[in-house]
């Protein structure tokens, strides 16, 4: 009885304690105090500019509400997740900071520490976070060797499931340190310094729960030992990423034990025919990506055994793919097939079987290279009715546009037929096809008018590309009423008439490209109402009239417009001052029109401007000194009548990449502040009136790739420091980009494929600067060509022709040895093999060879007599003038007056310099 009473008392006390504890939880809604204090101990190690403001040292402050902190969703007290990425955390964290944090945050499960300055000293502290399930240490400074035990400490984390070590400097030994993380399911070791043969790869076999392994971005050659005996045998491994390593085809044979592998990605340097051994053993594969290799030949016969495949990407290889697609016929589960940039071939016999698959994604871009091959569409497409994305671009397929693809596949969203040879008029079924959002039939041979049925057939169309065909007639008015249409490209056709104002002002369009047609009329009023439109390309048409100034008080310039191209039209008059109100404008192109007058000062208000092209007009006056937008990258002003010095225009424009001021009347010297243009890549000052020396400040512009100072009046020596420039080639920048957006309703495997299928809209804006160059021709430069210039190994064009240079041409070296005689012509005193002119000087008379012929001897004597006579005459004339001026005050006054006028008005002529140099050269 007594025993039962004691047990009853014990139970009551336990219940009471639980109730009291429960009440304590109910009455307190804040993080634990010791956890708050532990977080504050860590804050001093943050080194980034804006420390976490909510982390305050105030008693009672709820750290569960601090930024980057999450607590248990039930108790709302115990700290569960901590996001400390990108804080530049560094310092001695072993005994401070995390040393104190680890002893108090025993409930922490998720910890993000990526993109900091951490090293191995933190590992011991981390090993004490016993509840940790997710740990991200990517992009730090771990090396795996600076600590006696290093990553072995982490074996204490028995609950750890995900470990991310991407982007460190870890070596092969890290695999040995991972062997005891028995609960690990995801391991990321990409972009480290793993290399050669991974002799410790078998250590990972202890990780029996491992599902995902990422070894990409290293220099691994093999994941087995030399005899292939030790391999990965991870029975639970579902996904393996081996991208960007140094494997060869034998890698597949070392994977044959991974029987449950579902996703394999190996975009590498694989070459030659496929080694079927190992490749076809992975029968549970659902996603296989071998794109971006150099594999060739036919797919192996056993490939049809991979019946679990849902996504297959073999793009950018040299495979031979039969037009019937027979190797894929039995892959009944495949949903996405990507085979871009392979080679379609005809089969020995005609294949008629109906494929077992129903694809959602098919991408076959650039697969037909032979002009002799029948250019009909693959027949298997006739049996597909579940397609969502179709890309058959750049294959020279002929016939009429296969609109039956749209009719057969009612779920189709994206149809890309760009770059083929489809002909005839374009016609669509009257049936409603509501899912289609993107159609691209550009770069074909389609004629006739744009069918008005396109608006009713595809009511939700958002992207329409019909450029580079032979369409004619007017723009269908119904396009203005399509509420979802956001991108419309009708460029490079034969369309004419006026552009419907509603098309520009409709609101849903973001990109409108009507370039290179025959449109006419005045579009300016519509542009000023283009709310919602971002990119407007009307170049290469017949738009005319004055772009008159508008009373800015009566309208607000559409703040959405960031890109306007009205170049190559018939516009005239003065440049509109209202453009200064377009404060959000990024790119403005008005070249090849008839604009005149000066550049308005209001252009200085375009603070967001990146691209300006006013070339080939009749603009005059000077460049406004206030014009130096902080973000400007490309300026093209050539082919106008601008004059005067540069003054402070473009001063300190550190973002400027291209400065094109050719064919003007610009004067003065090149400003010494030119080195403030630190990003300058293309400098074009050809055909101006610049004079003075070529400034050595040019040598500080390390991004320069093209320098054209020709047809000016630069004088003095060529700066030798120009040889220090690397003149790197810059990639062309486009005026606008866009892409096909993936459709929204798809399974996960199809989504993986879709992420690889973004496409750019190629802007029609030719770039005329295709070569790196240094052109100093047609100036008054003197002295020798610096030997340092031969170090310009990437130079494509070089010219110092038609100057006053002398001496020997530097010994040709590498790229510099490819320049021909025309690069040096017009310099009488240059010599060298390439000019067929010896640089050797004759010996002095006392050592002169007796074999010298009489003619050469007479020539030297004649030259010597000429020089002596000239010097005597010169001295006599000077003395005579001096005597006359000394005796006669009147003539002395006239002489000095004449000299004064010459100083202010006269310039030395090139011919005078040449004659003087020639005379004294002869006397040397």
Say which residue, 281 or 827, is predicted with more confidence: 827
43 alpha-carbon distance from chain centroid = 37
Q: Smallest Cα–Cα separation from 796: which of 702, 732, 698, 707?
A: 707
Q: Give the C-alpha separation, 235 to 376, whole Å.
A: 45
Domains of the chain from N-terminus onward: 33-48+60-82 (no CATH), 477-732 (3.80.10.10)
User: Poorest-confidence range of 13-22, 205-214, 337-346, 716-725?
Assistant: 13-22
**What is the structure's pLDDT at 883?**
57
**Band of the pLDDT at 737, cuts 50, 70, 90?**
very low
Length of the chain as a residue count: 924
User: Poorest-confidence range of 566-575, 611-620, 736-745, 750-759?
Assistant: 736-745
Q: Give the C-alpha separation, 678 to 673, whole Å.
A: 10
User: Poorest-confidence range of 72-81, 490-499, 897-906?
Assistant: 897-906
Buried b (16+ CB within 10 A) or exposed e, 391-412: bbbbbebeeebbbebbebbeeb
**What is the structure's pLDDT at 228?**
54
Its pTM stands at: 0.78
**Band of the pLDDT at 734, cuts 50, 70, 90?**
very low
Share of the chain above pLDDT 70, in %: 78
Q: Give the C-alpha separation, 411 to 390, whole Å.
A: 11
In degrees rounded to 5, what are phi and psi of residue 9? -65, -40
547: number of Cβ within 10 Å = 23
> What is the pLDDT of the chain when averaged over all its residues?
81
Q: How far is CA 8 from each of CA 12, 13, 490, rounded to the nearest angstrom?
A: 6, 9, 88
What mean pLDDT is predicted for residues 312-330?
A: 90
759: number of Cβ within 10 Å = 18
Q: Give the C-alpha separation, 601 to 607, whole Å.
A: 13
**What is the structure's pLDDT at 841?**
64
What mean pLDDT is predicted for residues 45-71?
A: 78
**What is the structure's pLDDT at 24?**
41
Per-residue pLDDT reduced to its tens digit, 112-167 = 999 888 888 888 888 888 899 999 999 998 886 555 578 888 889 999 999 999 99
Judging by beta carbons within 10 Å of its beta carbon (0-12, 13-18, 19+), is residue 768 exposed, middle or buried?
exposed
- Output the six-digit token pair for 155: 């074996």
Give the orientation angle of helix 889-905 with respect to helix 854-887, to 10 degrees: 120
Which range of 139-153, 246-260, 856-870 scores highest in mean pLDDT? It is 246-260
Q: How far is CA 758 from each of CA 196, 761, 875, rounded to the nearest angstrom?
A: 34, 10, 80
Q: How many helices (H) and strands (E) does the chain have?
A: 14, 52
- Output the six-digit token pair for 125: 């502290």
199 alpha-carbon distance from chain centroid = 38
Q: Smallest Cα–Cα separation from 524: which of 506, 491, 498, 492?
A: 498
Helix (H, G, I), strand (E, B) or coil at 904: helix
Strand partners, 424: 446
Tokens 């011919």 belong to residue: 911
Query: 463-465 and 438-440 as β-strands: parallel, antiparallel, unpaired?
Result: parallel
Per-residue pLDDT reduced to its tens digit, 489-548 = 999 999 999 999 999 988 789 999 999 999 999 888 888 888 889 999 999 999 998 887
**What is the structure's pLDDT at 610?**
94
Judging by beta carbons within 10 Å of its beta carbon (0-12, 13-18, 19+), is residue 591 exposed, middle or buried?
buried
**DSSP symbols for 484-527:** T--EEE--SSEEEEPPPHHHHHSSS-SEEE--SSEEEE--HHHH
Tokens 């159609």 belong to residue: 439
**Band of the pLDDT at 551, cuts 50, 70, 90?**
low
- pLDDT surpassing 50 at residue 168: yes
- Output the six-digit token pair for 712: 């000016």
* H or E segment and range at residue 174: helix 174-177
Q: Give the C-alpha separation, 304 to 408, whole Å.
A: 26
Q: Give the C-alpha separation, 299 to 247, whole Å.
A: 19
Q: Give the C-alpha separation, 403 to 654, whole Å.
A: 51
In degrees rounded to 5, what are phi and psi of residue 334? -70, 135
Q: Smallest Cα–Cα separation from 399: which of 366, 367, 426, 360?
A: 426
Q: Give the C-alpha separation, 334 to 321, whole Å.
A: 16
Cβ–Cβ under 8 Å, residues 422 and 398 = yes
Judging by beta carbons within 10 Å of its beta carbon (0-12, 13-18, 19+), is residue 506 exposed, middle or buried?
buried
Strands of 579-681, DSSP E: 587-589, 594-597, 611-613, 618-621, 634-636, 641-644, 658-660, 665-669
Q: Give the C-alpha separation, 417 to 441, whole Å.
A: 5
Per-residue pLDDT reduced to its tens digit, 375-407 = 788 889 999 999 999 999 999 899 999 999 999
Q: Give the C-alpha separation, 268 to 846, whole Å.
A: 72
88 Cβ contact partners less than 8 Å away, ≥ 6 residues apart:
46, 47, 48, 116, 117
- pLDDT surpassing 70 at residue 107: yes
Distance in Å from the first CA to the final CA of the chain: 134
Say which residue, 345 or 471, is predicted with more confidence: 471
């Amino acid at each position: 009885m007594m025993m039962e009473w004691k047990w009853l008392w014990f139970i009551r006390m336990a219940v009471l304690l639980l109730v009291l504890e429960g009440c304590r939880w109910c009455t307190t809604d804040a993080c634990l105090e010791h956890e708050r204090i532990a977080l504050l101990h860590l804050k001093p190690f943050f080194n980034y500019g804006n420390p976490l403001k909510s982390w305050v040292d105030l008693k009672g402050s709820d750290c569960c509400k601090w930024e980057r902190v999450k607590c248990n969703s039930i108790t709302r007290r115990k700290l569960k997740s901590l996001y400390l990425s990108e804080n530049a955390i560094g310092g001695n964290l072993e005994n401070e900071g995390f040393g104190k944090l680890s002893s108090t945050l025993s409930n922490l499960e998720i910890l993000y520490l990526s993109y900091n300055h951490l090293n191995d000293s933190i590992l011991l502290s981390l090993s004490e976070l016993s509840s940790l399930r997710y740990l991200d240490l990517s992009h730090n400074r771990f090396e795996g060797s600076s600590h006696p035990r290093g990553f072995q400490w982490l074996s204490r984390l028995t609950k750890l499931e995900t470990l991310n070590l991407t982007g460190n400097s870890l070596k092969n030994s890290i695999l040995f340190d991972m062997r005891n993380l028995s609960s690990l399911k995801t391991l990321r070791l990409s972009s480290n310094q793993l290399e050669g043969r991974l002799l410790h790869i078998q250590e990972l076999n202890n990780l029996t729960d491992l599902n995902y392994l990422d070894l990409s971005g290293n220099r691994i050659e093999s994941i087995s030992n030399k005899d292939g005996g030790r391999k990965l045998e991870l029975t639970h491994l579902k996904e393996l990423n081996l991208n960007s390593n140094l494997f060869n085809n034998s890698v597949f044979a070392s994977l044959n034990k991974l029987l449950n592998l579902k996703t394999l990605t190996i975009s590498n340097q694989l070459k030659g025919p496929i080694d079927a051994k190992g490749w076809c053993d992975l029968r549970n594969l659902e996603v296989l990506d071998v794109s971006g290799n150099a594999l060739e030949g036919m797919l192996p016969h056993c490939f049809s055994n991979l019946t679990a495949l849902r996504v297959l990407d073999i793009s950018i290889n040299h495979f031979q793919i039969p037009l019937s697609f027979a190797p894929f016929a039995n892959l009944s589960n495949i949903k996405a097939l990507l085979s871009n940039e392979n080679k379609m071939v005809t089969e020995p016999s005609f294949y008629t079987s109906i494929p077992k698959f129903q694809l959602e994604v098919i991408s076959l871009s650039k697969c037909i290279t032979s002009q002799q091959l029948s250019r009909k569409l693959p027949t298997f497409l006739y049996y597909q009715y579940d397609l969502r994305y179709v890309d058959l671009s750049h294959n020279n397929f002929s016939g009429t546009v296969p609109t039956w693809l749209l009719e057969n596949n009612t779920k189709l969203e994206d149809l890309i037929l760009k770059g083929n040879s489809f002909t005839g008029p374009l016609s669509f079924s009257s049936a409603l096809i509501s899912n289609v959002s993107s159609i691209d039939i550009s770069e074909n041979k389609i004629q006739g008018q744009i069918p008005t049925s396109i608006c009713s057939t595809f009511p939700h169309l958002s992207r329409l590309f019909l450029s580079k065909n032979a369409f004619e007639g007017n723009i269908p008015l119904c396009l203005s009423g399509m509420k979802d249409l956001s991108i419309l490209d009708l460029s490079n056709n034969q369309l004419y008439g006026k552009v419907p104002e509603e098309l520009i002002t409709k609101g849903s369009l973001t990109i409108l490209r009507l370039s290179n047609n025959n449109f006419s009329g005045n579009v300016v009023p519509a542009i000023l109402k283009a709310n919602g439109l971002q990119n407007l390309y009307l170049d290469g048409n017949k738009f005319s009239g004055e772009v008159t100034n508008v009373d800015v008080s009566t309208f607000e310039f559409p703040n959405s417009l960031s890109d306007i191209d009205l170049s190559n039209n018939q516009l005239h008059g003065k440049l509109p001052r209202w453009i200064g109100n377009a404060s959000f404008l990024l790119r403005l192109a008005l070249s090849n029109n008839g604009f005149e007058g000066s550049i308005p000062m209001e252009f200085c208000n375009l603070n967001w401007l990146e691209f300006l092209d006013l070339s080939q007009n009749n603009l005059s006056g000077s460049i406004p000194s206030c014009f130096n937008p902080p973000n400007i990258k490309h300026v093209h002003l050539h082919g106008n009548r601008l004059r005067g010095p540069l003054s402070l225009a473009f001063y300190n424009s550190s973002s400027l990449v291209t400065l094109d001021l050719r064919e003007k009347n610009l004067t003065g010297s090149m400003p010494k502040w030119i080195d403030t243009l630190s990003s300058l890549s293309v400098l074009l000052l050809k055909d101006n009136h610049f004079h003075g020396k070529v400034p050595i400040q040019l040598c500080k512009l390390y991004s320069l790739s093209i320098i054209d100072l020709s047809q000016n009046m630069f004088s003095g020596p060529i700066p030798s420091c120009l040889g220090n420039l690397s003149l790197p080639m810059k990639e062309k920048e486009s005026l606008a980009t866009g892409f096909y957006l993936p459709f929204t309703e798809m399974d996960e495997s199809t989504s993986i494929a879709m992420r690889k299928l973004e496409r750019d809209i190629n802007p029609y804006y030719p770039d005329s600067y295709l070569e790196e160059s240094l052109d100093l021709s047609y100036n008054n430069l003197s002295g020798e060509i610096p030997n340092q210039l031969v170090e310009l190994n990437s130079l494509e064009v070089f010219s110092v022709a038609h100057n006053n240079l002398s001496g020997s041409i530097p010994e040709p070296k590498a790229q510099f040895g490819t320049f021909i005689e025309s690069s040096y012509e017009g310099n009488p005193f240059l010599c060298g093999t390439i000019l067929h002119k010896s640089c050797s000087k004759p010996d002095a008379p006392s050592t002169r060879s007796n074999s010298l012929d009489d003619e050469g001897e007479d020539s030297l004597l004649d030259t010597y007599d000429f020089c002596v006579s000239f010097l005597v005459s010169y001295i006599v004339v000077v003395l005579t003038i001096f005597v006359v001026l000394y005796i006669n005050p009147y003539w002395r006054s006239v002489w000095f007056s004449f000299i004064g006028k010459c100083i202010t008005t006269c310039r030395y002529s090139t011919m005078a310099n040449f004659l003087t140099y020639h005379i004294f050269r002869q006397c040397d």
